[in-house]
Amino acid sequence: MKLTSKGRYAVMALVDLAKFNDINPVSLRDISLRQGISLDYLEQIFSKLRKKAIVQSVRGNQGGYVLNKKANEIKLTNIFDAVDEKVKTVQCKKESKKGCNGKLTKCLTHNLWDELENHINDFFEKKSLEDLIKDNIERRI
């Protein structure tokens, strides 16, 4: 299992944004330079974040992005959801409620994968952007 860079970048960029989010909006250009993420790629990512109301955009010269909610209200879940980073352990989710792989019973390990998904999603549900920033300040590196 691995995390895609889209999800990882989204979180990195938002932490960066939250950190520099004082009076002026933060430009993607700055984030791009600080975090070493391609500007074009960032634009794709922020377009999705904006559609999910996680950030707000300010157009024009000296524009940029601003958080649209308080940092403690933005969970990892929300971020990953916005950029389509999903936790997928089975294919058999969407099929008939009864069984998997076209069979009548659930596959032998169905419960396991469900548990795993929940285990991971719990983690994402508990972590907020605020937690990340705090952790960052404390470590100061």
Partner DNA sequence: TAGATACTTGACTATTTTAGTCAGGTTTAT
Partner DNA sequence: ATAAACCTGACTAAAATAGTCAAGTATCTA
Which chain residues interact with a copy of itself by CB under 8 A?
1-5, 7-8, 11-12, 15-16, 19, 35-36, 85-91, 101, 103, 105-109, 111-113, 115-116, 119-120, 123, 127, 132, 135-136, 139, 141
Smallest distance from the beta carbon of 59 to a copy of itself, in angstroms?
A: 26
Q: Which of 79, 86, 84 is nearest to 10 (CA)?
A: 79
Q: How many CA atoms lie within 13 A of 32 on its CB side?
A: 14
Q: Which of 35, 8, 5, 6 is nearest to 20 (CA)?
A: 35
Which listed residue (44, 96, 105, 109) binds DNA by CB under 7 A?
44
Residues 6+ apart with CB under 8 A from 62: 24, 25
Residues 6+ apart with CB under 8 A from 100: 90, 92, 106, 107, 110
SS3 at position 48: helix
Q: Does 29 bind DNA (CB under 7 A)?
A: yes
Q: Does 95 bind DNA (CB under 7 A)?
A: no
Smallest distance from the beta carbon of 103 to a copy of itself, in angstroms?
A: 8
CB atoms within 10 A of CB 70: 11
Q: Does 60 bind DNA (CB under 7 A)?
A: yes
Comparing CB distances to DNA, the nearer of 17 and 71 is 17
Interface with DNA (CB under 7 A): 2, 4-6, 25-29, 38, 40-41, 43-44, 46-47, 50, 57-65
